[in-house]
């Protein structure tokens, strides 16, 4: 079921991820901003946020995780 935004428009979202493996949501009917890629999940705002809550368990950027692994931490 679609939800309506503050202006009364039906709104679908998609889950997006950047090269640092950070997640966000974006309007499904708009082009993605530079550096962001569709993750494959689409739905209501809440469905997308719930999905992010399940899959984004390590909030550190990828570059930091790699650096910490190099340092043996």
Q: Please state, in angstroms and rounded to a whole number, the distance separating the CA atoms of residues 15 and 30.
A: 12
Nearest to 21 by CA among 1, 37, 43, 41: 37
Note the pLDDT of residue 5: 58
**So where are the chain's domains?**
3-70
Nearest CA among 50, 58, 61, 8 for reference residue 42: 50
* Bridging pattern class, strands 13-18 and 3-4: unpaired
The whole-model pTM stands at 0.78
User: Residue 3's pLDDT is what?
Assistant: 54
Identify the pLDDT of residue 8: 46
Is the alpha carbon torsion for 23, 25, 31, 34 positive or negative? negative
Q: Which CATH architecture has domain 3-70?
A: Alpha-Beta Complex (3.90)
**Mean pLDDT, consecutive 10-residue segments, the chain of 73 residues?**
55 97 98 97 98 95 89 81
Are 27 and 11 within 8 A, CB to CB? yes
């Amino acid at each position: 079921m679609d939800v309506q935004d503050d202006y009364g428009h039906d709104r679908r979202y998609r889950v997006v991820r950047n090269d640092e493996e950070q997640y966000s949501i974006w309007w499904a009917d708009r082009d993605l901003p530079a550096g962001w890629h569709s993750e494959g999940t689409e739905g209501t705002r809440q469905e997308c946020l719930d999905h992010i809550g399940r899959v984004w368990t390590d909030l550190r950027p990828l570059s930091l995780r790699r650096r910490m692994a190099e340092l043996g931490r």
